[in-house]
Chain A
């Protein structure tokens, strides 16, 4: 069981209100990702749920009971920190065993659980090493192991992959998703990387300046962003935002077009432009096209397209895939 409910939760540091009143419902077994730009209050929100910070007002309910005043260790949550926060003077075994030891579990039971966790996380070969002798990915797994053995109601992750290199990040992303499938435990995951959010989440919570901008399934946010901020934040490369006459012509003060929803041609189209930088990735080509009267537009084109710096290109938006926003940035 891991149902978490936030009711009108706020947090201020001194006079600065970092979290404005937030209401959020997290169902049992969900993989929820908090995503937003750096400094928007993701970590603070996670730490409020963990109990490492006290709420300024509002309530946090875990499994239907008010947990606002319960100390962190008693909330039944386990956290994986950005810095891993391993205990450097203890072996991997002792690190993973630590929460069990604190809970007074008996020795044979501890050993059984630690061995099991080490097996699941491929740590068996390193079990007697110190954290200092491990690579970043292995440390990350030890931190996860330490969280798993407690069999918590929910896992909290604070940017767990941001210290890893790109290749490892991809692997760990899969491993954590896999873990979620196996354990079917609620996971709350904080990241500033929308790719992690899109690939891992059941439910994404987009935050900005301590306010929830939108909550929904990844594909929902991609297809129906509620406002300009979400539209620009979700999706890679970023959505193109068009204003002025070209937008009015399409029926709104501001119009958003995703790079994959623009057709590009050498001979004909709606807008004329000049190719700037083109990034050939093999499967796709990302073109930066300087369109007349619109500005720079990102286009995702076919991998084999034969357009280069300085070429003339014609663009046509797919009208049914446009996102229209009113003057205040809300989706129409």
Chain B
């Protein structure tokens, strides 16, 4: 029944959803674009008219811009590496037949259901607190001086917290990929003389390539905008200011909406570059 009639009817019925989605996206984007070209200081004179690309130039030339880009990349990259590597190991482990498999799997997935703010608070206060944290007690037990995690190893700490949140996602996707690997293929490679490491390198890893790409793609898009974890733990201090945190500071702490909007547009461009880049990799992988 894919006639002209039914197709235009379908279009008509989809229209509300499409319009809603477009509005949802376009209105904030247009407003951000609009403000990014204006001098707008809510507490110091309000909207003071057009300034051209002034905000864009100032955002980039500010001394905190490049460090924030660097921090963003380090955090995103660090979390990706940790979640993919440990995700693969966990997936291989969980694929082994063992007692209580179902329960263990649910436990592994549990962190994903904890809200970012809550998990950051838990890590900050229960694990990383330099006086009462579990890590501090552990260090003291072995006679070492407790580490002040969030000031001395701030970026690493945030990478750890965020990795903990995203590891279940990576594990879950990779586990389904591991489970879809044909057992006869592994047996064939075993008979062909491949040792366990070679079996992993030549058979398992290529089989996981697509799943890994998908994990990297999806995580990157979400990780570029992590905020709660930084806000709750270091508040952007000790070199943990990411691009999204910098934008937040410009808008709320400096009360400069124009400057923050320009930063927002930069972030949109950055995310799009990453997305296009990754889409092409995924596309290539999906061809095979």
Residues of A within 8 A of B (CB): 50, 52, 72-73, 77-79, 81-83, 85-89, 98-99, 102-103, 130, 132, 146, 150
Residues of A within 8 A of B206 (CB): 87, 89
Of the listed stretches B73-81, B117-125, B132-140, B190-198, chain A binds B190-198
- Contact call A102/B188, Cβ cutoff below 8 A: no
- Contact call A81/B184, Cβ cutoff below 8 A: yes
The reply to whether the CB of B185 lies closer than 8 angstroms to some CB of chain A is yes
Considering the chains assembled together, what is the distance between the CA atoms of A98 and B187 in angstroms?
13
Q: Total number of A-B contacts with CB less than 8 angstroms? A: 57
Residues of A within 8 A of B187 (CB): 52, 72, 79, 81, 85
The reply to whether the CB of B53 lies closer than 8 angstroms to some CB of chain A is no
A104 to chain B, nearest CB (A): 9
A-B pairs, 7 with minimum CB distance: A85-B188, A102-B193, A99-B192, A85-B184, A73-B193, A89-B206, A81-B184
Residues of A within 8 A of B193 (CB): 73, 99, 102-103
Given contacts A83-B184, A89-B288, contact A78 B189 (CB under 8 A): no
Considering the chains assembled together, what is the distance between the CA atoms of A50 and B192 in angstroms?
12
- Contact call A102/B184, Cβ cutoff below 8 A: no
Of B184, B193, B203, B207, most buried by chain A (CB within 10 Å of CB) is B193
B110 to chain A, nearest CB (A): 33
Residues of A within 8 A of B203 (CB): 87
Closest to A81 in B: B184
Residues of A within 8 A of B238 (CB): none
The reply to whether the CB of B277 lies closer than 8 angstroms to some CB of chain A is no
- Contact call A81/B188, Cβ cutoff below 8 A: yes
Residues of A within 8 A of B184 (CB): 81-83, 85
B64-94 interface with A by 8 A CB criterion: none
The reply to whether the CB of B182 lies closer than 8 angstroms to some CB of chain A is yes
Residues of B within 8 A of A (CB): 182, 184-185, 187-194, 198, 202-203, 206-207, 209, 288
Given contacts A81-B184, A85-B185, A87-B185, contact A73 B190 (CB under 8 A): yes
Considering the chains assembled together, what is the distance between the CA atoms of A286 and B246 in angstroms?
86
Residues of B within 8 A of A146 (CB): 188, 192
Closest to A132 in B: B288
- Contact call B202/A98, Cβ cutoff below 8 A: yes
Task: Pick from B182, B185, B191, B288: contact of A77, CB below 8 A.
Answer: B191
Residues of B within 8 A of A98 (CB): 189, 192, 194, 202
Residues of B within 8 A of A50 (CB): 191
Given A72-B190, A102-B189, 15 more contacts at CB 8 Å?
A: A52-B187, A73-B190, A79-B188, A79-B191, A81-B188, A87-B188, A87-B189, A87-B206, A89-B209, A89-B288, A98-B189, A98-B192, A99-B192, A130-B288, A146-B188
Considering the chains assembled together, what is the distance between the CA atoms of A50 and B184 in angstroms?
13
Considering the chains assembled together, what is the distance between the CA atoms of A206 and B198 in angstroms?
38
- Contact call A72/B189, Cβ cutoff below 8 A: no
Given contacts A89-B207, A89-B288, A102-B198, contact A72 B191 (CB under 8 A): yes
A205 to chain B, nearest CB (A): 22
Closest to A156 in B: B191
A-B contact pairs, 16 of them (CB 8 A): A73-B194, A79-B191, A81-B188, A82-B184, A85-B182, A85-B185, A87-B185, A87-B188, A87-B203, A88-B288, A98-B189, A99-B193, A102-B189, A102-B194, A102-B198, A146-B192
- Contact call B182/A83, Cβ cutoff below 8 A: yes
Residues of B within 8 A of A85 (CB): 182, 184-185, 187-188
Closest to B207 in A: A89
- Contact call B202/A87, Cβ cutoff below 8 A: yes
Considering the chains assembled together, what is the distance between the CA atoms of A85 and B209 in angstroms?
18
